Structure 1
Amino acid sequence: MSGTLNNQSLKTGRSFDLGKMNLKQLWVAYLTYPTILLYFALVVASIVAAAHFFAGWSATLVSIVAVILVYPLAWYLLHRYVLHGRLLYKMKWTASLWKRIHFDHHQDPHLLDVLFGAPVTTLPTIAIITGPIGYLIGGWGAAATAFGTGVAITCIYEFFHCIQHLNYKPSAAWIQRMKARHVLHHFHDEDGNFGITSFVVDRLFGSYYLDAKARPRSPTVFNLGYDVQEAKRFPWVMKLTGSPPRDRPDGARTSTAKPSTQHAA
C-alpha cells in the first residue's frame, strides 16, 4: 500500500492493511486512530482522578506494579478461554460479539480495523480487572491509578500487536522474537503463544512453542474451529460475515511461512 493510499485512509476511514504498510505509516495510523486517542484521553483522565483522590505514593506505586503483574495473566486467560473459546459463536446473541472481538482478526490478521479491540468491550473489561485491585490497595485514588495503568498497558500491547502484523522486520532482537512467536499463533497453530509482549504465562501453562517444527500445523488456525460445518450448525457469524468462513485469509498469502522461521532462534 502506498503512502498516498494510507494517508487517504486516515481521511476516508478506509481499512489499513498492515501487511502492506511500513513503520512510519503505522505510527501515523496508530497515533490518529480514534480508539487509541480515546485510550490516551482516558489515561489523562485517570491521572487527574488519581491526583484528586490521591491515595499516597505507596498505594499509587503498588497499584501500578500490581496491574503490571496481573495484566499478562488476565490477557492470557481471556485470550485462550474466551476469545478462542467456542461458546460465544454458538449463541445468536453473542455471535456478533465473538466475530468482532477475535474471529475477524484471525480471518484477516493484517486488517487494522479488527486488530484493535472495540472500546465497548475492552474498557469494561479493563475496569473490572483493575478497578478492584486498586480500590483494595488504596481506595478510589488507587483505583483510578490502576485503571489508567491498565489502559496505558493496553496502548502498548496494541502497538506491539500492530508491529507483529506489520510488513516490517524490527531491528531489535527481542522484538523479532516476540513477533515470530505471535506470527506462529496466527499462521501455524492458534492453540499456543497467546501472549503479546511476553510469553511467560504461556510457558507456565504449557502453551508456548518455539517454532513451526515444535508441533503440526493446525487446520483451524484461521477460523478458530468455526469451519463450514460449524457454520451450518451455528450460522449467525456466517450470516454477519456474508460468506462462509475461510481457511486462509487473503493477507496471509504472501507472508505465511517466512516470519515463523526467520526469527525462530
Structure 2
Amino acid sequence: MFDWLISPFLQYGFMQRALFGSIVLSVSCAPVGVFLMLRRMSLTGDAMSHAILPGAALGFLLFGLDILPMTIGGLLVGLLVALGSGFVSRFTVQKEDASMAAFYLISLAVGVLLVSWRGSSVDLMHVLFGSVLALNNEALGLIVGIAVLTFVALIVFWRALVAECLDPLFLRSVSRMGGPVHLLFLVLVVLNLVGGFQALGTLLSVGLMMLPAVAARFWSNDVRGLCLIAIAIAVVSSLCGLLLSYHASMPSGPAIIMVAGVAYILSALFGRRGMLASALPSRRHKTA
C-alpha cells in the first residue's frame, strides 16, 4: 500500500510538483466553481475556458512554450470575451448565454487555427489538454499567485459576492457594488481558468472548477459548506487522478477530471440530497 500511494511522490520530483500544483488549483478553483454554479452560470465557465485559447495560442506562436506570454494572452482574450458578450447582451436583444456561446465558439475556432497554422499536433495537444506532470517552478509560482489573489478577493468581498450571487437586483438596489463585484467575479473566473490551463489545458481546466462544485451541491446547502466540500473533492480527485495516471500509464489531466466525474456520480447517487435520499420515504412523526 505504501508503494502504491506514497512512493511515486517520494521518488519523483515531477510528481511532487504535479501534486502541489493540483492541490493549489483545487483550493483556488473549487470555490469559484461554487459561485458559478449558484449563479446558474456553470456552462459559462466552460465557454470561458475555450475563450482563452486564442490568447494562449498567440503567446505560443510568438514566444513558444513560455508561460508568461501564454498567460497574459489567455487572460486578455478571456476578459475581452467576457466583457464583449456582456456588452452585446446589455445593448441588444440577445441574451448573455447566446452571446457568450457565439464569442467562445469564434475564439475556439481561431485558437485551434492559430496553433495548427504554426505548430504541430503535439503542440496543439499540449495547449488543449495541458500537462500537469510538466509543471515547472514558474508555472507553480503563477498558480500560487492566482490562488492567493482569489482567496484575498473571496475574503474581502465574500458578503458582496454571496449577495450578488443570490439576489443581484437587491444588491444593486442597496449598493453600487453590484457592477464592480460582477466584474471582479469574471476576473476571478478567467484568472483561475488561466491557472488551470497551465496544468490541464484549455479544454479540461474548467473540469476541476465545476465538477467538485456540482458534486458538493448534493451534500450541503450552505455556501461555506459547499466551498469546503468542493475543495475536499477537488483535492482527493487530484491525488487519486495522479496516482491513477502513474500506475495505469494514463494522461494525468484526463485522469484527474475522470476521478472528479466519478465523485460527481457517487454524490448524485448517495449524497444527502442525492437520488437515493430522495427515493427513500421520508420519516414523519405522527402526532396523536
Same fold per superposition (TM over 0.5): no
TM range (shorter): 0.3 to 0.5
Normalising by the residue count of structure 1, what TM-score does the alignment of the two structures yield? Answer: 0.33
Answer 1 or 2: which has greater helix percent: 2
Normalising by the residue count of structure 2, what TM-score does the alignment of the two structures yield? Answer: 0.31
